[in-house]
Structure 1
Amino acid sequence: MSPQSSYSTSTGYGTEVAPLRWFGLLAGDACNGDLECSSLETLGDAALARRFHSEGVDTPRTQELPTPRPTSAFCERVALQNPSKLLQISAISPAATGVSGSVDERQYWQAPEPLNLRDHEFDIFKHFVTGVSQWIDLFDPLRHFSTLVPHLALRNEGLMKAVLALGARHLSIKPLNSGEAGIDRTAAVQYYYETLQYLQSAMRYTSYKNSLELLATVLVVSTYEMIDGAGKGWERHLKGVFWIQRSRDINGESGGLEQAIWWAWLRQDVWAAFREHRRCFTIFKPVKPYQVMDIWDMASKVVYILAQSVNYSSSEEKQLGERDLTNRIARANTLLNMLSEWRSRVSVHFEPLPVEGPSNRAFKPLWIHPPAFGTAIQMYCMARILLLINQPAAGGYLEYIGRDKIITESTNTNVS
């Protein structure tokens, strides 16, 4: 059995159920965490269904979507243990209540006019657009999260709340410039909570569960949790994002915003998997040959190879390798050859530019521009280190000496 085989079986979550499973994890962890849930209404299955039925076609538009709020017990009981039940409840829409099928249900979650920001929200929104989004857009030449996503957010309250939560959370931890007012974490938590409230209402609409707005919201929420230090909760939610993307057949070669979201999610999952000594969730294998890749495709390709290297260094693969050292050595060699091919294929854009620096520095300064390509080189070095320190040495001591030279070289690659 290959190391990836346990991840290759289908989850069985379709495009309807996967978003609900993800939301169930999100809401359940929120109610068990530091959000104020004592004031949440206790809604049983029947009561929630009656509430949705009674609203019918008269459900207000995005800005006034009703927010039936789940308790922790409700989230756990319905969303996690019985997602099909939550699916039945959430699927109740104007069309399901006997209204003509000609009604476009997007009118219930897409605002007809741009949303109005409050005075203090302009700076938070601008900080996301011009600052935080750059992380997400790292290897995306079209910069979807700084160009397209802000416009989607202006027509969707849930995405806007998520954007404000992420922007506010980063502002709450970044060093302040002279004369700059600080933002407390409480503001970010409030926006995060309001995002969950919106999601629970909008999840009943099939068009929303299959929208770009939901995908963007999912990734922004995940980024918020990453910098907020959500820990195990964030780990579970990353897997929920995997369910959503797989149910919609979204991968690193899907094109457009979907592709940008997939790569941004993979970078997050690589970090989380490395930290927890587990495999990455992805099972996708890129098929685009180097001959047709542009420089941004090449930068993304090394993320995939790094993910495979993180898999190789995981506790699970180490245990499997103890029973078959020959295959473990061969697998590392395969990945090292992939890294060598990548390094030989990338263009001159990934080479360092001249930089002046003190000769007594511990590390020789390297300047690669744009910085994204410098990050790609550091990922390449990290992957080499992971493979070489985890591959069994058939050649004994002399092989270790040779590896040590490569590891030292990779460790000293300090890109500015």
Structure 2
Amino acid sequence: MQESARPTPAFCESVALQNPSKLLQISALSPAVPGASGSVDERHYWQAPEPLHLKDHEFDMFSRFTTGVSHWIDLFDPLKHFSTLVPHLALRNEGLMKAVLALGARHLSIKPLNSGEAGIDRTAAVQYYYETLQYLQSAMRYTSYKNSPELLATVLVVSTYEMIDGAGKGWERHLKGGFWIQRSRDLNGESGGLEQAVWWAWLRQDVWAAFREHRRCFTIFKPVKSYQVMDIWDMASKVVYILAQSVNYSSVEEQQLGETDLTNRISRANELLNMLSEWRSRASVHFEPLPVEGPSNRPFKPLWIHPPALGAALQMYCMARILLLINQPATGGYLEYIGRDKIITDCIDTIGGIAMKLTDDASRLMSTQCLFAAGLYCTDTDKRDCIADLIIDHSEHTGWPSNTDLAEELRSQWSKQKPR
């Protein structure tokens, strides 16, 4: 190991403080140093021969990740790689362990173990976060590490940390760095194993970031797996891809391009709407609602989808339809607008109804995003109030988002519009 080439901790911390995600983005494209041959022997530089030992104050952080926040990442992963495999990988890799502790500590700082407890101060999470970036800067010199599952897991865990920490532009740059790492290794949503799990979890984060920034998603991969061989979890992930394309369609970039080619823009929306229709027609009975007891006195009819993750997938399907129908140019006049308005209303009702019956935080996280999107285009006063209440309820359970009041943001938007 060439010590002269290793950046000092002070240098790393200085760069991280100015632009935390820049460390990973630079490293993603940089070659390994001369002499780092990628042989098995070099693994001892970054892979511990014995399991790492946690300090007393770190057990709660590790547990919060393993039994809590990891499930957010594992939403559509039947093998639950981040709650079953990643904790074991972290015991042999200091960088991944630092990332796990950073994410666990940050969530504990938002949601303490028990009501009334002080929890863990955010400062502890920030320290682990910077130490993770320092580790990445050093370890990315080794070819075996750059091609390791530990790196992929670390990138995704750090990205999740930035998402719940409210890193904003820093999180977005990190998402782009993750894109380049996956692209350099030709990894995608059909790679299998941990690599596939990372890709889909990364795409779900990028979809939300792109939607909020009115930009295109970073991905260029197009799934080729046929519906005939998909299980219910493949189906759930497939709708994430279609939603990503719908977010692309609603981006500022594609809207501007559509101004010069109206025919193609209308055609593209129809193509995506047909993809959604095919997905819905192929979805199995698992995506259908189960009976619920009694009538509801709220503006949405409760819809119970079990397991709840499939309910979140159906909400994403509805969000995609809303975005396409809102942004597709209409050539059929008033009657076409009436027809679209009915479909949009049905989609809003489905998103709200499913949200009322969700029972796990991973699904609530996705539901929060879909509720916000639905709320932007909801014109009914009672439904608006219910959407705001559901977002608040979800956020109280998950602790996300920590730095933005999405319900208040919606109310601000609604105050500028006339209710129907």
TM-score, normalising length from structure 2?
Answer: 0.78
- Residues 1:51 and 2:4 are matched in the alignment: yes
SS of residue in 2 equivalent to 1:91: coil
- Residues 1:280 and 2:217 are matched in the alignment: yes
Structure 1 residue aligned with 2:71: 134
The answer for unaligned runs of 5 or more in structure 2 is 358-420
Matches within 5 A, 1:220-299: 220-299=157-236
Structure 2 residue aligned with 1:91: 33
Structure 2 residue aligned with 1:32: none
TM-superposition CA deviations, 1:171-208 (whole Å, max 9, x none): 11126534644111111001101111212221221111
Separation of aligned partners in 1, 2:39 and 2:16: 37
Residue identity in the other structure for 1:296: W
Contact 2:321–2:344 (Cα < 8 Å) also in 1: yes
Structure 2 residue aligned with 1:210: 147
SS of residue in 2 equivalent to 1:254: coil
- Residues 1:346 and 2:299 are matched in the alignment: no
- How many corresponding residue pairs? 348
Shift in Å, 1:72: 3.0
Structure 2 residue aligned with 1:44: none
Structure 1 residue aligned with 2:15: 72
Contact 1:253–1:286 (Cα < 8 Å) also in 2: yes
- Alignment counterpart, residue 198 of structure 1, candidates 117, 125, 135: 135
TM-superposition CA deviations, 1:93-120 (whole Å, max 9, x none): 576xxxxx97700011100110000111
Q: Which one has the largest radius of gyration?
A: 1
Contact 1:68–1:200 (Cα < 8 Å) also in 2: no
Residue identity in the other structure for 1:208: Y
Separation of aligned partners in 1, 2:220 and 2:92: 33
Separation of aligned partners in 1, 2:30 and 2:183: 18
Residue identity in the other structure for 1:228: D
Structure 2 residue aligned with 1:370: 307
SS of residue in 2 equivalent to 1:104: helix
Contact 1:141–1:296 (Cα < 8 Å) also in 2: yes
Distance change in 2, residues 1:94/1:239 (3 Å)? closer
Separation of aligned partners in 2, 1:174 and 1:194: 23
TM-score, normalising length from structure 1?
Answer: 0.79
Residue identity in the other structure for 1:129: T
SS of residue in 1 equivalent to 2:102: helix
Structure 1 residue aligned with 2:53: 116
Residue identity in the other structure for 1:91: V
- Alignment counterpart, residue 356 of structure 1, candidates 293, 298, 312: 293
Any runs of at least 4 consecutive aligned residues in structure 1 with deviations exceeding 6 A, and if so which?
73-76
Separation of aligned partners in 1, 2:252 and 2:115: 46
SS of residue in 2 equivalent to 1:412: helix
Task: Say what the alpha-carbon RMSD is for the aligned residues.
Answer: 2.6
Separation of aligned partners in 1, 2:343 and 2:115: 44
Separation of aligned partners in 2, 1:388 and 1:250: 32
Shift in Å, 1:209: 1.1
Contact 1:169–1:228 (Cα < 8 Å) also in 2: yes
Distance change in 2, residues 1:318/1:266 (3 Å)? same
- Residues 1:300 and 2:237 are matched in the alignment: yes
Distance change in 2, residues 1:364/1:301 (3 Å)? same
Moved more, 144-153 or 355-364: 355-364
Matches within 5 A, 1:130-209: 130-174=67-111, 177-178=114-115, 180-209=117-146
Separation of aligned partners in 2, 1:199 and 1:51: 17
TM-superposition CA deviations, 1:121-178 (whole Å, max 9, x none): 1111111111101010000000000011000000000000000000111111126534
Distance change in 2, residues 1:94/1:350 (3 Å)? closer
Shift in Å, 1:355: 1.3
Separation of aligned partners in 1, 2:219 and 2:133: 26
The answer for unaligned runs of 5 or more in structure 1 is 1-47, 54-64, 96-100
Residue identity over aligned pairs, in percent, reads 83
SS of residue in 1 equivalent to 2:330: coil
Structure 2 residue aligned with 1:391: 328
Residue identity in the other structure for 1:267: R
Residue identity in the other structure for 2:299: A
Distance change in 2, residues 1:73/1:175 (3 Å)? closer
Separation of aligned partners in 1, 2:283 and 2:137: 45
